[in-house]
Structure 1
């Protein structure tokens, strides 16, 4: 009985994670296509990538939550070891994705500052 409930919860949580990743990928692809049609892919690329990274990070968190739930009913050390390996891989992916998101955010902020500084015309002698 408990095993069935936990199995159902694991499937729901993992399905939510997969759905989040799919929605993020579809959203980013749509934004990429719109930017391409408008001729602004270069300017929008980092923002689109940053948003996709956030969706991926959230989806991976849900996948990791499913792994944690699954360990509650893992009957053998072999299964626990396999789950630990999967959780470690997902945690590492999430860590590096988080770092990349931070780098993208910093790059976007630098570009924005350049645009703001470039739009301010220097005042000449009056």
Structure 2
């Protein structure tokens, strides 16, 4: 629940900032929107993964629940990785151009 709330609030803040920047004629308004929205989604995914881990550990763990948790973590890790590449515009192991 907290992860979804973080994503929704982050999305609203990113949208409000975009509208303000767009009307201020900021040429980078769209890129800032994408970056802010991506960061909100990444943070929300972190909360969702943490909630899943706590939920699995709080109840009696079974091999099935651990397998489901592992699959969820793998999928969300892939999504986080993809979003980070999209936000930064480069591979994580690539050095930033100075």
TM range (shorter): 0.7 to 0.9
1:75 Cα shift? 3.3
Within 2, Cα distance between the matches of 1:84 and 1:22? 25
State which structure, 1 or 2, has the greater radius of gyration over its C-alpha atoms.
1
85-94 or 25-34: bigger deviation = 25-34
Where does residue 67 of structure 1 map in the other structure? 52
State how 1:13-24 maps to structure 2 within 5 Å. 15-24=1-10
Within 2, Cα distance between the matches of 1:102 and 1:32? 18
Please report the RMSD computed on the Cα atoms of aligned residues, expressed in angstroms.
2.3
1:39 Cα shift? 6.7
Within 1, Cα distance between the matches of 2:35 and 2:48? 20
8 Å CA contact retained: 1:32, 1:41: no
2:7 pairs with 1:32: no
Residue ranges of structure 2 left out of the alignment (5+ in a row): 91-96
Q: How many residues align?
A: 90
Residue ranges of structure 1 left out of the alignment (5+ in a row): 1-14, 105-109, 111-126
Runs of 4+ displaced beyond 6 Å:
none
Q: TM-score by structure 2 length? A: 0.75
1:56 to 25, 30, 41: 41
Where does residue 68 of structure 2 map in the other structure? 82
8 Å CA contact retained: 1:64, 1:91: no
Q: Which secondary structure state, in structure 1, belongs to the residue aligned with residue 28 of structure 2?
A: helix
